[in-house]
Structure 1
Amino acid sequence: MTPVEAIQKKQVNAMSSLLYNSELEGRKHHVTDCNWSSQVYYICESLVQKNQPILYWLEDNEDNSPKRSFVREELQVIKDVQLPS
């Protein structure tokens, strides 16, 4: 179904795999929703290629890591980190 057809209908059935988990629970996803982690990660590897953004792979103190790489704009530098005990 095209978007134009879907807009004209009162109700459209969508596969749950196309929805965010928050939408499945009845909560709508907003652009202003927080989408960052409170977990502190360290850069463990980077990839520099000509005419491409630098990609960073992260891991925490327990060698856990997100499943994807990140670009600089997605990272936040935190100085003097005080972790909870």
Structure 2
Amino acid sequence: MLDRRVFGCLCVLAASIAAGAPAIADLRVDRLQELERAIATDPENLELAAEYRQMTMASGQVDRATDFLRKLARRNNSGPNVQI
């Protein structure tokens, strides 16, 4: 009997997590876009750039970061920290 209850609770928990996953992904995309705008405005801000790189790595979007930072480094006013 206890096993059925545990199984039922696990099913409900899994369904709840699955239902919340798109919302979390949307928040992550929104945050990445915010960081990209902020970094484009202040390319020398190493804290923003570090947070951005960490988020893209955690979400498996390393190519996104590489493309964005490469374009930023090509700008005339990018500054030396963008090259790091």
Above 0.5 in TM-score?
no
Structure number with higher relative contact order (C-alpha < 8 Å, ≥ 6 residues apart): 2
TM (norm. structure 2) is 0.25
Query: Which structure shows the higher helix fraction?
Result: 2
TM (norm. structure 1) is 0.25
